[in-house]
Amino acid sequence: MENLFNTYKEIKLKGEIGILKRNNILNNSKKTYHIKGKLKYGKLIRDEFLNNASELIYHIEYFISYDNNYRYIKIKDEKESICYEKEELPYINIFEGNIVKLKTGGPKMEIIGFNKDYVECQWSDQFGVKSVSYPYYSLENASD
């Protein structure tokens, strides 16, 4: 199962691995879930696929964030007792030293570092130099 997201689409479209027992969208409205130990806001879908003998073959959890910038999928093969997981983060072409700004607006900032989920930014105003960490998906390159 090289690309789990494509595998999931094929499973749903072709029905090759079994019968969809339940397509359980947990609360059709978007809300906050614990995904891989972090709080994420979006929609979580849980599917179960059965074979013709009504035996559970696959259990699938699929999460997509409200802004479509994050996806997570877990496919559990019940027969083989194997669990496949993948999370997909958006690719943002920013590097240390780049000038960025918040997608919602605000001052131009210089990237001074990165940590797991955040980008360290620095800028100055009339009160001095400020430094704040922002989620990577909230930033965009600032064009002059």
Average pLDDT over residues 22-41: 64
The pLDDT tens digits for 79-133 are 888 888 887 766 566 778 889 999 888 999 999 988 766 889 999 999 999 999 9
Burial grade of 77 (CB within 10 A; 0-12, 13-18, 19 or more): middle
- pLDDT tens sequence across 52-86: 787 888 888 888 877 666 788 888 888 888 888 88
Rounded CA separation 37/25 (Å): 20
Mean of the pLDDT values across residues 18-47? Answer: 67
Q: Which pLDDT does position 57 carry in this prediction?
A: 82
In Å, how far are 82, 87, 99, 112 from 139, measured between CA atoms?
37, 20, 10, 14
Sorted by where each begins, the domain ranges of the chain are: 4-88, 99-141
In order of 3, 6, 44, 64, the CA distances from 10 in angstroms are 11, 6, 19, 17
Q: What is the dihedral of CA 58, 61, 64, 69, to 10 degrees?
A: -80
